[in-house]
Amino acid sequence: MIRRAFLWLALAALLPSAAKAQPTQASAPFATQHLLLQLSDDTMAKQKLVISVANSILKDYGPDNVSIDVVAFGPGVKILYADSPERVAVDSLVAQGVRFDICMNTINTITRDTGHTPALNPNAKPVPYGVGRIMELVEQGYILVRP
């Protein structure tokens, strides 16, 4: 009897977290797949790889069936500079529903260190902390990939 009560309590404790783990994103409300791409490197090869992965997943699943969020922090924020060589590719992905989050903690550090704030792609969505955003999306059920 005590064992059964313990199992029910354990199961009840899991229910709120299971309900919380439902992925959500306005750009793809009916998405069956939820992908989170981490970009924390500033190399052109890593930037191109993130773009390639996002394009491949959109092609395979379709923009209505997949929700893709790219979180850029640290040196990875350079992909979201206004003058980035990958600007056209980023804007194309945004037009297909991909969200690009930029870590404002990193931008504030760059501003403090250089004395000026870099011009950012207007499609970049500012978030307070890149790692915090990653943790939030993983908690919502997104699959984290670091190409």
All domains of the chain, ordered by start, with CATH?
Answer: 2-145 (3.40.1260.10)
Buried b (16+ CB within 10 A) or exposed e, 20-46: eeebebeebeebebbbbbbbbbeeeeb
* pLDDT at res. 20: 39
Please report, in angstroms and rounded to a whole number, the separation of the first and last CA atoms in the chain. 50
Residues of the chain with pLDDT under 70: 1-29
Tens-digit pLDDT profile for residues 38-57: 999 999 999 999 999 999 99
Q: What share of the chain is helix, strand, coil (3-state, %, to 5)?
A: 50, 20, 30
Q: How many residues does the chain have?
A: 147
pTM above 0.75, yes or no: yes
> Can you tell me the distance from the alpha carbon of 27 to that of 97, in angstroms, rounded to the nearest whole number?
5
> Can you tell me the distance from the alpha carbon of 54 to that of 137, in angstroms, rounded to the nearest whole number?
16
* pLDDT at res. 27: 54
Q: Is the dihedral of CA 111, 95, 127, 144 positive or negative?
A: negative
